[in-house]
Amino acid sequence: MPAPLLIGLAAFCSTMLGGLVALRLRDRLHLILGFSAGAVLAVAFFDLLPEALDLGGASVGSTNIVALMALGFLVYLLLDRLVLLHKHCDDAGEHAPQSHIRAGSLSAHSFLDGVGIGLAFQVSATVGLVVALAVLAHDFSDGVNTVNVVVRHGGDRKNALRWLVVDALAPVLGVLATFLFAVSSSVLGALLALFAGFFLYIGAADLVPESHHEHPTFWTTAATILGAALLFAIIRLASV
């Protein structure tokens, strides 16, 4: 079996494990949300944005890469506000469209992770392994985050598991897709910048406020800092 596909399967397992842990610890959801908020922000700042600058900075320009990140943030804000204007009236399902958008965004990012792994291995095995380690470093938190955004917006366990499976399969499909086509580094860099903006919005405007809502802020804040610090350390070690 090709190395990229093996790593894609490892990403599947890591994502599923993170999501199942989040489902089992729902009574500590505020702490998991706090940790997830830090992890999402860390992925945006320490993984996606640097990768976007490395891949597209020379051709697209570093200023344009940062502008694309801001565009991603604003596009996600617009989608979020439009969903709020058209939400359902029933309490159980009022946040369902939001959960679909957020979970879909996380799954799309996971698909792009798989694309990144496959394309990196097209460059060289060494580059592929470095990118793969960075992806695996945050796939566990990807699973946690996918479950959290579904539960946070009114989804039940069945919906959370469904989106978790979609998110876990996404990097495998991304790897398989690279066997069929190639994407230039500048295009991939631009896409990563957009997803960095999406993640900044999810972390800063959704997970951070919800994590300390009606809960003691000391432990949730500590969890957020721990999530950011842990993901920063893992990403740095993976890139050494």
In the block, tokens 């939400």 appear at 87
Region 202-215: what's the mean pLDDT?
75
Distance CA 42, CA 200 (A): 9
196 or 29: which carries more pLDDT confidence? 196
Distance CA 39, CA 231 (A): 6
Q: Kindly report the pTM of this predicted structure.
A: 0.70
Question: Does 84 score more than 70 pLDDT?
Answer: no
pLDDT for 70 equals 96
What confidence category does residue 219 fall into, taking pLDDT thresholds of 50, 70 and 90? confident
**CA nearest to 153, candidates 198, 94, 196:** 94
Question: Does 138 score more than 60 pLDDT?
Answer: yes
Q: What is the pLDDT of residues 51-78, one digit of tens each?
A: 889 888 888 899 999 999 999 999 988 8
Return the number of other C-beta atoms located less than 10 Å from residue 233's C-beta.
13
pLDDT for 90 equals 44
Judge contact between 40 and 203, C-beta under 8 A.
Answer: yes
Question: Does 204 score more than 80 pLDDT?
Answer: yes
pLDDT for 186 equals 85
Q: What is the CA radius of gyration of the chain?
A: 17
Region 222-237: what's the mean pLDDT?
88
Q: Is 124 helix (H, G, I), strand (E, B) or coil?
A: coil
Distance CA 68, CA 60 (A): 10
Judge contact between 116 and 131, C-beta under 8 A.
Answer: yes
Distance CA 122, CA 4 (A): 10
Alpha-helical (H) ranges within the chain are: 3-24, 29-42, 49-60, 62-85, 96-123, 125-152, 157-177, 185-201, 208-211, 217-238
pLDDT for 28 equals 72
Sign of CA dihedral 18, 75, 226, 57: positive
Q: What is the pLDDT of residues 85-129, one digit of tens each?
A: 544 444 444 556 666 777 887 788 788 888 888 887 886 787 677
Distance CA 123, CA 120 (A): 5
What confidence category does residue 215 fall into, taking pLDDT thresholds of 50, 70 and 90? low
Q: What is the mean pLDDT of the chain?
A: 81
Q: What is the pLDDT of residues 14-40, one digit of tens each?
A: 889 888 887 887 667 678 778 888 888
- Domain layout of the chain by residue ranges: 3-238
Distance CA 239, CA 136 (A): 12
Q: Is 116 helix (H, G, I), strand (E, B) or coil?
A: helix
- For the stretch 43-61, what's the b/e string if a residue is b when 16 or more beta carbons lie within 10 angstroms of its beta carbon? bbbbbbbbbbbebbbeebe
Distance CA 122, CA 124 (A): 6
**CA nearest to 137, candidates 34, 43, 29:** 43
